[in-house]
Amino acid sequence: MYDIEALYEATSEAEAIRLMQQYPTAKLIAGGSDILIQIREGKLAGCTLISIQKLDSLRGVSMDEDGTLRIKPLTSFSHITKDPLIKKHFRVLGEAVDTAGGPQIRNIATIGGNICNGVTSSDSGSTLVAYDAITELTSPDGVRRLPIQEFYTGPGKVALKPYELLTAILIKKESYENCEGHYIKYAMREAMDIATLGCSVNVRLSDDKTIVERMRVGFAVAAPVPIRAKSAEAAAKGMPVSCKTINAAAKAALLDVSPRTSWRASKELRLQLVEELTKRAFEQAIILAGGEL
Amino acid sequence: MQKQLVRCTINGKETETYVDVRASLTDMLRNEYKLTSVKKGCEVGECGACTVIIDGECYNSCIYLAIWADGKNIRTLESLLGPNGELSDIQQAFIDEGAVQCGFCTPGFIMTALEILESGREYTREELRKQLAGHLCRCTGYENIYKAVEKTLKKRKAQSANK
Ligand SMILES: Cc1cc2nc3c(=O)[nH]c(=O)nc-3n(C[C@H](O)[C@H](O)[C@H](O)COP(=O)(O)OP(=O)(O)OC[C@H]3O[C@@H](n4cnc5c(N)ncnc54)[C@H](O)[C@@H]3O)c2cc1C
Ligand code: FES
Ligand code: FES
């Protein structure tokens, strides 16, 4: 038995929001793979829950008329990886979430929960940040959109207002078009482990594949929240496809990160990983985009 | 105590019962339905001892609320029992390959193995390791478990080729 005070099950988005208004101290639960663990640990013992697990309208991936990818928050990691639209347009996200936990966790964990927990080690966060994802937030006041970098406000903190529900993660066409990405998770174990550092790089090359038109890089566990490394991106933009460009970008990434020492790894190791993983992920992204090194 | 009606199919049988909203699916399967192959190990999603199949996908039933099972099709190890108590091919392979020692992890491993066997694909050893990575075994060292699954995969493939 879980130490739960009361549980209310929403049958629609509107009802979920109404329940949040009615029970302002209640916690939302989606897949439960964070919340239920925290109840077991005692951190959230005795809480009241509002379950959105059964809201199938918030599941799946679709495309808006303007080509924007719409990823609904309750989509599980395994369904993201299997989804045809993700495979075609945003393969790196499917690969990134496929590194999380183990197979059962990937059937349970939702992508919405993975960013709403505000955790820096999230296996989806660095890739979403690197693709300029936009969060769609719905409340009694209506729907607003917020870039994911502004959605993350601090360790374990996000910009959700009371009574606000994440209802979609959007990726604009210009963000994924002609773009290839690669994610590397560095962890102590190959499975069932949280990232020591995560690095997600994507590139768009010139038509002749010799110039890096755009390079974007996101990190997990390199700062209190998933972050972009703008100095690295500036160092790569417009430069020839070459090892020199890769090395320069990887060095520049060090200017943007602020990793800490934790029981998993020292700050020094993480800094080394920032540089090394940027190199490797950048190189792989170039190769995927058809570039030669 | 808040209770809620849960109607679901368990091992092919339609069932319904009122469950405590605080119950995990593990609690419900063990306490209401006496399906004790579903083990309580870590109860935090790390060990896989509580694995069941929900609508064709493996879940850790310890971190799944019982009320969410409403409308679902759930399978546990007990579903493999033959009419006269016979074992299924995958259970027999676990025995033959020495993949069972204390046996606590076995029901969970076999549920994931079932999802693998029913996917109809082929697996490299590397892929099998990844698919089975959500289970801990303190006794066998895993090698014999991979062998049992590989052997059954081969056997089923040969059987379907003969058909
Ligand atoms: C054994 C184990 C291994 C794990 N390994 C990894 C790993 O390798 N990598 C990784 O990134 N994570 C890992 N996790 C963490 C977890 O599985 C993920 O963070 C998951 O994505 C959380 O989603 P959920 O829906 O299950 O979470 P929940 O617990 O349901 O929700 C998480 C938080 O998000 C909020 N929330 C959820 N959905 C919404 C919404 N639509 N709108 C507003 N708020 C919402 C909830 O209120 C809660 O605060 C692991 C967890 C376990 C138990
Ligand atoms: S008991 Fe559920 S994963 Fe360990
Ligand atoms: S046989 Fe004992 S834990 Fe696996």
Q: Which residues contact A153 (CB under 8 A, 6 or more apart)?
A: A118, A159, A225
Query: Hey, what are B102's tokens?
Result: 């204390």
Look at residues A140, A174, A208 and tell me which one is the last residue of a structural domain: A174
* Residue ranges per structural domain of chain B: 3-80, 89-158
* Shortest-distance Cα residue to atom 3 of ligand 2: B45
* pLDDT tens profile A156-196: 999 999 999 999 999 999 999 999 999 999 999 989 999 99
* pLDDT tens profile B66-109: 999 999 999 999 999 999 999 999 999 999 999 999 999 999 99
**pLDDT attached to residue B161:** 87
**pLDDT attached to residue B83:** 92
Angular region, B56: left φ>0, alpha ψ -120 to 50, beta rest: left
Residues A203 and A229 in one domain: yes
Look at residues A128, A153, A174 and tell me which one is the last residue of a structural domain: A174
DSSP, collapsed to helix, strand or coil, labels residue A179 as: coil
- Asked if the C-beta of B150 comes within 8 angstroms of chain A's C-beta atoms, the answer is no
Beta strands in chain A (DSSP E): 4-9, 27-29, 47-51, 61-63, 69-71, 134-139, 142-147, 152-154, 157-158, 165-171, 180-186, 197-205, 212-220, 227-228
- Residue A281's pLDDT band (boundaries 50, 70, 90)? very high
Report the mean per-residue pLDDT for chain B: 97
Of A37, A102, A191, the CB nearest to B44: A37
Residues A164 and A197 in one domain: no
**pLDDT attached to residue A132:** 98
**pLDDT attached to residue B163:** 77
In angstroms, the separation between the Cα of residue A36 and the nearest Cα of chain B is 6
Which superfamily is assigned to B89-158 in CATH?
[2Fe-2S]-binding domain (1.10.150.120)
Residues A116 and A218 in one domain: no
**pLDDT attached to residue B162:** 85
Please, are residues B47 and A191 in contact by the beta-carbon 8 Å criterion? no
Q: Which residues contact B44 (CB under 8 A, 6 or more apart)?
A: A37, A40, A41, B62, B63
Residues A65 and A22 in one domain: no
Residues A212 and A268 in one domain: yes
ipTM confidence: 0.96
Report the mean per-residue pLDDT for chain A: 97
Residues A249 and A262 in one domain: yes
pLDDT < 50 positions in chain B? none
Please, are residues A118 and A154 in contact by the beta-carbon 8 Å criterion? yes
In angstroms, the separation between the Cα of residue A249 and the nearest Cα of chain B is 33
Kindly list the residues of chain A whose beta carbon comes within 8 Å of any beta carbon in chain B. 1-4, 6-7, 9, 29, 32-33, 36-37, 40-41, 51, 53-54, 78, 101-105, 107-108, 190-192
Question: Number of folded domains in chain A?
Answer: 3
Query: Hey, what are A231's tokens?
Result: 């100095």
**pLDDT attached to residue A190:** 87
A247 occurs within a structural domain: yes
Residues A96 and A203 in one domain: no
**pLDDT attached to residue A38:** 98
A293 occurs within a structural domain: no
Residues A210 and A250 in one domain: yes
Residues A23 and A72 in one domain: no
Residues A245 and A217 in one domain: yes
- The CATH number of residue A278's host domain is 3.30.390.50
Residues A10 and A72 in one domain: no
Question: Burial letters for A125-141: b for 16+ Cβ neighbours within 10 Å, e otherwise?
Answer: bbbbbbbbbbbbbbbee
- The CATH number of residue A14's host domain is 3.30.43.10
Domain containing A262: what range?
178-288
Look at residues A174, A199, A226 and tell me which one is the last residue of a structural domain: A174
Q: What is the mean pLDDT of residues A216-242?
A: 98
Which superfamily is assigned to B3-80 in CATH?
Beta-grasp domain (3.10.20.30)
Q: Do B2 and A192 touch (CB under 8 A)?
A: no
Percent of chain A past pLDDT 70, that is, above it, reads 100
In angstroms, the separation between the Cα of residue B108 and the nearest Cα of chain A is 11
* pLDDT tens profile A23-53: 999 999 999 999 999 999 999 999 999 999 9
- The CATH number of residue A166's host domain is 3.30.465.10
Residues A247 and A263 in one domain: yes
